[in-house]
Amino acid sequence: MPDFLLLMHNDTTRPEDERLWERYLAALRTTGALIGGSSIGHGAAVRRFATPAPVSAHLTGFMRIRAVDFHAALRLVEGNPVHEAGGTVEIRELPED
């Protein structure tokens, strides 16, 4: 089964209900989909020989999940507190190299 990243953006249209995080994470754990995740703090962009692109300041957190396919990963976004508050959750597949 492939792994996916859920990247949470800081563009919610209303306040997040923090109580939903506990329920959402418990549901992902129950299904065995949750691998890990964290909020994202301050950082820097570096590039060896040129000026780097700016840091992606709109990203506030990530989750690594496992799902059968992209459509199953998409269904796992339902209930995500950022998504439920009108914000963006970006889904990216982590291909096996």
pLDDT for residue 36: 96
- Report yes or no on 18 lying in a domain: yes
What is the residue type of 26? A
The domain spanning residue 68 has which CATH number? 3.30.70.1060
Is 52 part of a structural domain of the chain? no
- pLDDT tens, 8-56? 999 999 988 889 999 999 999 999 999 999 999 999 999 999 999 999 9
Name the residue range of residue 30's domain. 3-41+58-94
pLDDT for the residue numbered 58 = 92
Please give the angle made by the CA atoms of 24, 18 and 85, to the nearest 5 degrees: 80
pLDDT 10s digits, 68-85? 999 999 999 999 999 999
Q: CB under 8 Å to 72, separation ≥6 — which residues? A: none
- Residues 6 or more apart whose CB falls under 8 angstroms from that of 30 comprise none
Residue 12, in any domain of the structure: yes
Position 97 pLDDT exceeds 80:
no
Q: What is the C-alpha separation between 97 and 92, in angstroms, rounded?
A: 15
Q: How many domains does the chain have?
A: 1
> Is residue 68 one of the residues assigned to a domain?
yes
